Structure 1
Amino acid sequence: MGNNLGIGLFCFVALLATNAAADCPLDQEVFTSCQIEGRGTEVFICFDNRVTTYSYGPIGGAPDLFLSETIERVDFEPWSGVGTAISESVTFYNGAYAYDVGGGFDRPFSVEEMQQPIRRFGWIEVSENGAVVANLECTPETVSDGFGDGIHDAKLAAGQTWDPDSLTWISDLVQPTVPSLLMESHLYETVEDCLPATEFNLNDVSMGDPLDTLGKLGSPETVTDPFGSGELIDRMFLVGASIDIFQDRVYGMSATSPDWRTPSGLKVGLTRGEVIRILGRVPSGYDATSDGFYTQVCSDTPDAVDAWSILIEFGQNKRVETISFVSPSY
């Protein structure tokens, strides 16, 4: 009976694969597609070994919205392997908006269930700045695929590994720091995580550096403290980064471009999983799906002038959006 059920399930999945829609860009194949319930519209998610595309618009007509993303960067979430249904999804990002599209089917657990009609389902979840603004359901009988090896295998071939804890992909080029970059501080009564002072550096500009060593980067401008103190500060505006100066020394830095990175390789654009791999583990007080990580520099002196902190913030695409270093004087 077990062997018959296994063979039957294989045929069941193969049958789903043969029902895939074909309305994709040239040389691409469908990941999932469906018509949206009560709207007269349809969605197609297609892919090849380089690019994944999103197309949404009137049935049989030109798309109202067409998006594309490389295989390396596309936010694809494979089936977790548990539950009564098999489904996978892809999320595309367009400015403040995110479009999570998925499809799947209820999996059978007996020969009798495999003889019943296939129950398919699919969806589009639209978010704006992380808040859900619309949930669209697919007409079940129009759902095609939504499960298979295609995008998953393309990402593996591109040198990536799925991390089910952070729900992100990790490039094989991102290697863990040995020993762990995150260390433990025993300065206070409670043990806290910290990073070595050498990590508080962006492109060879370090916290505490004197102003006269930054001349090659430009001249600072006097601006109002963006953190609301009302004080005037000196800020150097650079492409993809800013550097704040206090008493002729660097006391704050922020990066918004992958062109600026720390000695360990932390930079904008990394996935949550890649950041965790570089750090060595999830910082205490957070989990692998947190929206950001905050920790301090390792120090042996309470209330030290150089008691810097780092804030790594992730965008709705689960990638680093900003890396900021701040001093106690902020």
Structure 2
Amino acid sequence: MKQIFLALVFSAATTTAALAGQYCTLDESVMFACTFNDGKKAVEVCDTTYWAEGDNAAYAFFKTTGEVEKEIITDKASLIATPWNGVGNTIWETVTFYSDDYGYEVWWSIDRNSDAVPVGGINVLQNGATLAELTCDAGSVQQNLGTLVEAVEAAQVSP
């Protein structure tokens, strides 16, 4: 039942996306995308297995004119993925990419109310402390983080 509901949530989330596929090479590789600052900046998280060698994922924060401000490409086993625990009225997931002492936690959530619109953002961390919390523009969240969370979990248990 949870999987059916999440599939419906994903379908609803992808129909409201304002942006996807500007950074990720193939649209089906987009695991998360949204815009910030009225569409001036964006973030995309990709499963690079679709377009590159290795079992990796990519994070890119960029100006929508194309200039990448932060890019992290790393193996999925090094990511921290937190799946929704199935409790409460809000469904949510996070995936955190690391670069030196900094973490970039990409998150999304949605109220189980059928009229709810998904929200999301990025929490920028340094040594575990939150430096910044960026919230996506309303209606711009496209997500499939559940698929990435499963891939991260599989990569962490694979030899």
Superposition TM-score tier, normalisation by shorter sequence: 0.7 to 0.9
Q: 2:77 aligns with which of 64, 72, 75?
A: 72
More strand by share: 2
Give the superposition deviation at 1:106: 1.5
Give the superposition deviation at 1:157: 4.0
Deviations 1:22-53 (A, max 9, x none): 33433561111111246821111111441111
Q: Is the 8 A contact 1:103 1:146 kept in 2?
A: no
Return closer, same or farther for 1:101/1:157 CA change in 2, 3 Å cut-off.
Answer: closer
**Helix, strand or coil at the partner of 2:11:** helix
Give the superposition deviation at 1:56: 0.4
**Residue 92 (structure 2) pairs with residue 95 (structure 1):** no
**Residue 54 (structure 2) pairs with residue 57 (structure 1):** no
**How many angstroms apart in 1 are the aligned matches of 2:90 and 2:73?**
28
Q: 1:154 aligns with which of 130, 136, 151?
A: 151
Q: Is the 8 A contact 2:34 2:136 kept in 1?
A: yes
Aligned to 1:129: 127
**Helix, strand or coil at the partner of 1:72:** helix
Q: Is the 8 A contact 1:85 1:104 kept in 2?
A: yes
Output the amino acid matched with 1:92.
Answer: F
Structure 1 gaps of 5+ residues are: 109-113, 161-170, 174-330
Deviations 1:186-225 (A, max 9, x none): xxxxxxxxxxxxxxxxxxxxxxxxxxxxxxxxxxxxxxxx
Which aligned pairs between 1:88-237 and structure 2 lie closer than 5 A?
88-108=93-113, 114=114, 116=115, 118-148=116-146, 150-158=147-155, 160=156, 171=157
More helix by share: 2
Scaled by the length of structure 2, the TM-score of the pair is 0.77
Aligned to 2:29: 29
Structure 2 gaps of 5+ residues are: 50-54
Scaled by the length of structure 1, the TM-score of the pair is 0.40
**How many angstroms apart in 2 are the aligned matches of 1:10 and 1:65?**
30
Give the superposition deviation at 1:74: 1.4
Return closer, same or farther for 1:69/1:87 CA change in 2, 3 Å cut-off.
Answer: same
Identity of aligned residues (%): 29
**Residue 20 (structure 2) pairs with residue 15 (structure 1):** no
Give the superposition deviation at 1:66: 0.7
Deviations 1:236-270 (A, max 9, x none): xxxxxxxxxxxxxxxxxxxxxxxxxxxxxxxxxxx
**How many angstroms apart in 2 are the aligned matches of 1:43 and 1:30?**
10
Deviations 1:150-196 (A, max 9, x none): 213323443x4xxxxxxxxxx366xxxxxxxxxxxxxxxxxxxxxxx
Aligned residues: 149
Q: Is the 8 A contact 1:37 1:136 kept in 2?
A: no
